[in-house]
Amino acid sequence: MLVARRLDEEAIALQRQGVLPAYAPAKGQEAAQVASGAALDLNRDFAFPTYREVGVAVGMGVDLAAYLASHRNIWHGGLYDPQSSRLAPLNAIVGGPVLHAVGWAMGAKLDGTGGAAIAYFGDGASSQGDVHEAMNFAGVYRLPVVFFCQNNGWAISVPTERQVAGGSVAARAASYGIESLRVDGNDALAVFEATRAALERAREGGGPTVIEAMTYRMGPHSTSDDPGRYRTLEDEQAWAGRDPLVVAAQQLTAEEVAAAEEHAAAVVREVRESLVSLDVRPGEELFSFVYREPTKSLLAQQRAWKEHLDA
């Protein structure tokens, strides 16, 4: 979690320095992300992230410089290998990863691989029609998928109570015949156990589960956001005492925390150096991974692009 926090802070600094065009901070959500990612079986499960899952990448052991390459705008989806890392490319479509996870889960059920998918989304995304369709489909076909909602209190600037009818994302699961639970999203051990159990149940044919991890986005929605315009300092200070790193540190010795800080600093230093030194990818790759067989329209766009460069 310290690696995720310090890397998050470094990414914000790099954005302010002009290295990253934009970044979506994850401060406060480290327990929900790292612990759920660590619960996956990387030999058979698959994770589908949004644009704010740096902690999931840490928990899954993904190449972090390659992960952040997407935020640097060097290559769409990051430079890591999704197939071997078991982490799908970053997805900025609100609710989009949920559909992809359900599609993957259907494939896993049909080919009998025994793996499960986990779909990440926020409380704001839960109001998207795509999420309703995905949960309904997964419920009908009893698919091996875990819907992992990080309820961080805010859909950008709109509080949960103003956009989630009934106030609970987990409660919606009953409408689809899906198991659900709420968990303290700032308690890493609780998140790990809940996610591990839901994944195990999915792999054994028990169907999908909705996990609503109750947490708090301590920073802005993105580096272009000012949370001071829509929430109070008192609210932020109240949640500061429930910081997942503070909660975790209370279960460790001072020596263990110091060692973790030293490790995090070394990781961040290495990631920063690797990220800054990455070369820009060839522009032709914009057209290389759209279709298995390029369409006439895509080929026409590629020709127009080349003509523009040569003009």
CATH of the domain at 253: 3.40.50.970
Looking at residue 75, its pLDDT comes to 76
Where do we find the tokens 């996610």?
195
46-48 and 158-159 strand pairing? unpaired
Distance CA 145, CA 219 (A): 29
Which residues 6+ apart lie within 8 Å of 247 measured at CB? 31, 186, 187, 188
Q: Which of 200, 135, 201, 123 is nearest to 162 (CA)?
A: 123
- In terms of residue numbers, what domain contains 96? 2-280
* Predicted confidence (pLDDT) at residue 76 exceeds the cutoff of 90: no
**pLDDT tens for each residue of 110-126:** 998 899 999 999 999 99
Is 89 contained in some domain? yes
**pLDDT tens for each residue of 161-217:** 999 998 899 999 999 999 999 999 999 999 999 999 999 999 999 999 999 999 999
Distance CA 167, CA 1 (A): 28
Is 293 contained in some domain? no
Is 274 contained in some domain? yes
Is 190 contained in some domain? yes
Note whether 118 and 204 are within 8 A (CB): no
**pLDDT tens for each residue of 131-145:** 999 999 999 999 999
How many domains does the chain fold into?
Answer: 1
Report the 3 state secondary structure along 72-101. CCCCCCCCCCHHHHCECCCCCCCCHHHHHH
Is 310 contained in some domain? no
Is 129 contained in some domain? yes
In terms of phi and psi (left: phi > 0; alpha: psi -120 to 50; beta: otherwise), the region of 118 is beta
Between 41-55, 89-103, 137-151, 281-295, the lowest mean confidence (pLDDT) is in 281-295
User: Residues 148-185, buried b or exposed e (16+ Cβ, 10 A)?
Assistant: bbbbbbbbeeeebeeebeeebbbebbeebebbbebbbb
Task: Give the pLDDT mean for 260-284.
Answer: 93
Q: Which two three-digit tokens encode residue 235?
A: 């609210």
According to DSSP, the residues that pair with 305 across neighbouring strands are none
**pLDDT tens for each residue of 23-67:** 999 999 999 999 999 999 999 999 999 999 999 999 999 999 999
Q: Which of 226, 107, 94 is nearest to 149 (CA)?
A: 94
Is 294 contained in some domain? no
* Predicted confidence (pLDDT) at residue 279 exceeds the cutoff of 90: no
Note whether 10 and 272 are within 8 A (CB): yes
Is 306 contained in some domain? no
pLDDT averaged over every residue in the chain? 94
How far from chain centre, in Å, is Cα 265?
Answer: 22
End-to-end CA distance of the chain: 50
Please give the radius of gyration of the chain, using alpha carbons only, rounded to the nearest integer.
20
Q: Which long-range contacts (CB under 8 A, 24 or more apart) does 278-283 make?
A: 278/65, 278/69, 278/72, 278/74, 278/79, 279/74, 280/74, 281/74, 281/75, 281/79, 283/309
The pTM is what? 0.93
Q: Annotated active-site positions, please?
A: 217, 221, 230
